[in-house]
């Protein structure tokens, strides 16, 4: 299933582009940006945003590894989780508002694709952090590099704007993903379902912000 995550990302991006086009016929730039952010949250059932909130509560709590994992498993949202959600949504909203009309569809297509590519990279390249198991354990398949087969698809999209935009997007993706892997590895010894969701949201937001610059 994880093999097709980048393809799912491309499909989500296509749906977002269509949604943006249709809503743009009657909605102003501010309302359109809000609707696009709402669409991204709705299409994933809020699952990745929930992971972002849980991961922020645990990883930013400066607690020992086991306590961090315990906090992340708690369904209640804390201050760090709430702040992470607020800033994520605000940054997506501001970035989408700044997207240039001619290249708008490219960034709306690329952001979900890069986000799902980050997910499969985490599942194939990192260890599962919970020693006692968890909901996302079966998705982790470390060193099964065949899962990365469709991963280059997302990287190709920004090159339709130009070589510079393509290289910037690819470099941003690699730096953000690698940095998050390293951070989670030091804090909890790997990744969990929550951190995979958090990484997805972070990458999606960063790609949109790059497009809006």
Mean pLDDT of the chain: 92
Whether pLDDT at 2 is above 70: yes
Cα angle: 86, vertex 13, 136; to 5 degrees: 65
- Rg over CA atoms, the chain: 17
Rounded distance between C-alpha atoms, residue 180 and residue 99, angstroms: 26
pLDDT in tens, 77-88: 999 999 999 999
* Terminal-residue alpha carbon distance, the chain: 34
pLDDT in tens, 170-179: 999 999 999 9
pLDDT in tens, 3-16: 889 999 999 999 99
pLDDT in tens, 133-161: 666 667 777 778 888 888 999 999 999 99
* pLDDT for the residue 133: 67
Q: How much is the pTM? A: 0.93
> Domain coordinates of the chain in residue numbers?
2-212
CA distances from residue 182 to 68, 118, 122, 190 in whole angstroms, order as listed? 16, 14, 11, 8
């Amino acid at each position: 299933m994880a093999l097709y995550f980048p393809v799912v990302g491309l499909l989500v991006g296509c749906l977002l582009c269509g949604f943006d086009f249709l809503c743009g016929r009657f909605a102003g730039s501010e309302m359109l940006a809000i609707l696009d952010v709402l669409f991204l949250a709705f299409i994933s059932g809020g699952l990745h945003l929930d992971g972002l909130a849980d991961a922020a509560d645990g990883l930013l709590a400066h607690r020992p590894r086991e306590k961090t994992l315990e906090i992340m498993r708690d369904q209640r949202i804390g201050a760090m989780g709430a702040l992470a959600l607020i800033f994520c949504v605000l940054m997506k909203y501001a970035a989408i508002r700044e997207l240039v009309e001619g290249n708008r569809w490219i960034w709306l297509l690329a952001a979900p694709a890069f986000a799902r590519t980050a997910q499969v990279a985490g599942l194939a390249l990192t260890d599962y952090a919970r020693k006692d198991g968890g909901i996302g354990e079966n998705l982790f398949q470390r060193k099964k590099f065949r899962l990365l087969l469709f991963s280059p698809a997302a990287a190709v999209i920004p090159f339709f704007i130009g070589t510079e935009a393509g290289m910037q997007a690819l470099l941003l993706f690699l730096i953000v993903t690698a940095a998050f892997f390293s951070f989670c590895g030091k804090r909890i010894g790997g990744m969990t379902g929550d951190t995979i969701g958090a990484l997805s949201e972070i990458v999606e937001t960063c790609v949109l912000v790059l497009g809006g610059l």
